[in-house]
Amino acid sequence: MRRRLWGAAALLGLFAGVAPVAAAEAVAAPHGAGPVPLERLFDNTAVSDDQRPGAADFDGSGSSLSAQDLTAAGWTPGRTLTVQGARLTWPRRAAGEPDNVRADAQSVRLRGRGDALAFLAAGTAGSDVSGTGTVRYANGTRSSYRLTASDWRTGPLATKAVALPHINTPAGQLAEKARLYVVTVPLAHGREVASVTLPRGGDLHVFALSIRPSTRGWTGSWAASTSGYTAVGPWTDRTLRLVVHTSAGGPRVRIRLDNTFAAAPVRIGSATVAVQEAGARPVAAPVPLSFRGAAGAEIPAGAQEVSDPVGFQVPADAQLLVSFHLPGTVTAAPVHRLAVQRSYVSEPGDHAGDGTPDAYTSAITSWPLLTGVDVGGGPGSVVMLGDSITDGEKSTQDANHRWPNVLATRVLNQHVVPHYGVLNQGISANRVVTDRYPGDGISTDTGGVSALHRLDRDVLAQTSARTAVVFQGVNDVRWGASADQVIAGLRELADRAHGRGLRVLAATIAPCEGESLCTPAADTRRTAVNTWIRASESFDGVLDFDAVVRDPGHPARLLPAYDSGDHLHPNDAGLAALAESVDLTLL
């Protein structure tokens, strides 16, 4: 396989969070001046008070963002938010004051090292706005990047950082979604940034800019994708005790909580971690976690919080209990629906530190809010981007028989390759090219946004990700996508991941004859995609999962010994066969 190399100009859009900026001044710096802080370049006003909508004009037609909507989402002036590992600060400006810059080749002072630049941005041209900028490094070298910002009124909800319910206009408020985006572009590895020249494009607005730090020194041990935003509980003054299974172990731990797709903040009162003995019972007293030195945190809409590192020996291939108290009332939450694992909800009160299971009187089979557990040290992580077969549909509950779990155990029990973390980013019903969940609002559909729309969040922003394994496409062909559409989507996934320096492996699509949507036409499309995967130079390796689980005498269907009974999902034996077939040296 020949790897396709992409340079720093590769475009990578992603939800991201926010880094501090100094208080802004009222007058923009003159164009052509040397590098200055971004806030000194602000020359446009995007935010108005609902009572004074004429004080802002974001798009040239008098329309603007609502200050009240931003506050309701937790995006208050000067607040630092974190999304997908990047920290950005919402401008410390009152409504009606300049709060963003129209990109026109201005030079921004920015210093530091990391793996990506993160832009909090939006376009106002009615469609995507793109431009090429330059990064200057302290050693005198430079690299170019291409930045594309989606439109604040028409861009995809699936990739927005936050959506607001209204747009202010001089004629009154419109009940129309306003969007803001975080876009990241790669940096040259190991070099210190000295300044950034913005692209030219007057309809491309930048609110904040930061360097996303690398996650060196950490390995992702467990992860789950946010598959939707659903009604829950309601939970008032309850504690969730979620059960997760580690891959890699380590001497320190931190957790990640995501408020993805949300419209309002969520408050975490306290959080702990412990090794599970059984059910909701820990082996020993849970260890308290903190967030920026505090016992709890408020997570704004669309943002995340990562706990402070704490000394705690995380065993490899073991069950953890991650507990967190929700002191307010939570009626909807971002969830990973198909946990194939029982977790627990307490009676009223903060029971995160309880050493007994007595307060945990009800069970759930989803993972709300929690999206990651990292361990200190280690060689980095391998990320599995998949659908229900990767998610563990039809595997035995509470047994950790998903194929990524079996693969993680194989990795731990050998000495040919390092003991990588294995991160399962499968979502049941997910597709390569089409969203199931639209990316905004409460919905019963938990099939997630498309792989193309979630790649940045679920793969590229994952802790110390080194290799991505893409095992998707069956839902696309079952629901009518053409082979060419799926191939184009898989090629784009590979190109974008390669642009970030990741290795990319592709798995062929397993057969499913006998399932109602797996028609002969769908199988023809599946076969065409597989033929392309096997011959493609887009990937660094191919895992021929189709050959592993198909019936040799009837290749369009699963081998009966591997069929869970629905003819689409392998059973525990079939999932183990997938994991056992992986050449570990490809990872």
Sequence-distant (6+) residues with CB within 8 A of 201 are: 102, 103, 104, 129, 130, 131
pLDDT above 80 (res 16): no
Cα separation, 218 vs 131, in Å, equals: 34
Share of the chain above pLDDT 90, in %: 93
pLDDT at 311 over 60: yes
Q: Which residues contact 34 (CB under 8 A, 6 or more apart)?
A: 107
State which H helix or E strand residue 388 sits in: helix 388-391
Its sign, for the CA torsion 306, 312, 314, 318, is: negative
Q: How confident is the model at residue 34 (pLDDT cuts 50, 70, 90)?
A: confident
The Cβ of residue 562 has, within 10 Å, a number of other Cβ atoms equal to 21
From CA 377, how far away is CA 563, in angstroms rounded?
Answer: 39
Measuring CA to CA, which residue among 75, 541, 444, 23 is closest to residue 230?
444
CA distances to 429, 480, 511, 527, 555 from 524, in Å: 20, 11, 11, 5, 12
How far, in Å, CA of 448 to CA of 442, rounded? 12
Cβ neighbours for 415, distance < 8 A, ≥ 6 positions apart:
none
* pLDDT digit string, tens, across residues 477-524: 999 999 999 999 999 999 999 999 999 999 999 999 999 999 999 999
In angstroms, the CA 80 to CA 300 distance is 10
Which of 380, 377, 429, 386 is CA-nearest to residue 404? 386
Mean pLDDT of the chain, nearest integer:
94
| 1 — pLDDT class (breaks 50, 70, 90) | very low
Q: Is the peptide bond before 555 cis (omega within 30 degrees of 0)?
A: no
Cα–Cα distance measured from residue 568 to residue 572, given in angstroms and rounded to the nearest whole number: 13
Residue 182, token pair as written in the block: 């975080």
- Tens of pLDDT, residues 62-82: 999 999 999 999 999 999 999
Quote the strand ranges of 300-428, DSSP E: 304-306, 310-314, 319-336, 343-346, 360-364, 367-368, 370-376, 381-386, 421-426
Q: How far apart are CA 463 and CA 183, in angstroms?
A: 18
Per-residue confidence (pLDDT) for residue 25, from 0 to 100: 34
CB 528 within 8 A of CB 563: no
pLDDT higher than 60, residue 552: yes
427 burial level (CB within 10 Å; 0-12, 13-18, 19+): buried
Per-residue pLDDT tens digits for 376-394: 999 999 999 999 999 999 9
Strand ranges (E), 246-340: 250-258, 266-268, 270-278, 281-282, 287-289, 297-299, 304-306, 310-314, 319-336
Site of tokens 């020194």: 217
| 535 CB-near residues (< 8 Å, 6+ apart) | none
Residue 5: what pLDDT?
33
